[in-house]
Structure 1
Amino acid sequence: MFEQDKPIYLQIRERIEDQIVDNQLKEGEQAPSTTQLVNFYKINHATVSKGVNQLVEEGILFKRRGIGMFVAEGARERLIQNRKDTFLENFVVGLVQEANKLGITDQELFELIKKCKGSV
C-alpha cells in the first residue's frame, strides 16, 4: 500500500494532490478528514495530519472550523505548475544536458520524444 523508501505522510499528501490534479477532488469540494484517512489507511493520526497540514500551509487545502477541509480555489493549477517545475528540474534539464553531450540536435531530440511518447 505504501512505498518503503518514502515517508508515509508524503505519500498521503501526494495521494490528495493526485486526486486534485485528476479532478477527483474539485476546487471548493470537501476533502477527506484526517479521521477518515486514519481509518481508511489504518495509520497514525499524527502521520496523516503532517501531510494534510503541509497542504493547508501551502494553500492547497483550507479548513472551516467544525466543518472540515476543502480544496482551495486555484489549487489544481498551482499543483500542476509545481509538478511541471519539478519535472523540468528532475528530468528535462538532465535530458537536454545529455543530448548536448551526445551532439543530438533539437530536431532529433524532439523526434525522439515524439517517438517515445507514441509508444507509451
Structure 2
Amino acid sequence: MFDDRSPIYRQIADRIKADVANGTLSPDEQVMSTNQYASFYAINPATAAKAFAQLVDEGVLYKRRGVGMFVSPGAREALVSDKRTKYFDAVLGPALDEAEAIGIDPKDIFEFLAARTKRDPK
C-alpha cells in the first residue's frame, strides 16, 4: 500500500482524502481508529495518529471524544473544489499557455472541446 515517494503519514492522509472525495467514505461515517489502522497496515500507531491529526486540522475528519473519528460534513465538497482548482492551475493553465505560445487560436480549443464532449459525453 505504501511507497517510498512520500512519508507514510502523508500517504495515509492522501488515501483517506481520496476516499472522501470519491464518495467511498460518506459524511459522518466513522473511520478506523488510529490503532486499528496501525494494526491493519502494520505501521506505527504514531504514524497513523499524525495522519489523522492532519486530517482533523484540515477539516476532513472530526473527532467525537470517546467514540472515534468521522468524516466531516462538507469535506467531500471542499476536497473536490480544491482538486478542481489545482487541476485548472496545474493542468489547464499550462496547457493554455502552451497553446498560446505555439499559436493555437482559442476558437480551435473551443471547437476541440465541443467535439470531444459530443463524442464522449459524461
Give the shorter-chain TM-score range.
0.7 to 0.9
Q: TM-score, normalised by structure 1?
A: 0.87
Match of 2:36 in 1: 36
Divergent runs of 4+, >6 A: none
> Unpaired runs of 5+ in structure 1?
none
Point out the more displaced range, 69-78 or 16-25.
16-25
Deviation at 1:112, TM superposition (A): 6.2
Task: Report the Cα distance in structure 2 between the residues aligned to 1:40 and 1:109, rounded to whole angstroms.
Answer: 48
1:17 aligns with 2:14: no
Give the aligned residue type for 2:5: D
- Aligned positions, number: 117
Q: Which deviates more, 2-11 or 106-115?
A: 106-115
Aligned-pair distance for 1:3?
2.4
SS in 2 for 1:27: coil
Structure 2 residue aligned with 1:96: 96
TM-score (norm: length of structure 2): 0.85
Structure 1 residue 54: Cα displacement = 1.0
Which 5+ residue runs of structure 2 have no aligned equivalent?
Answer: none
Name the Cα RMSD after superposition: 1.9
What is the SS of the residue equivalent to 1:32? coil
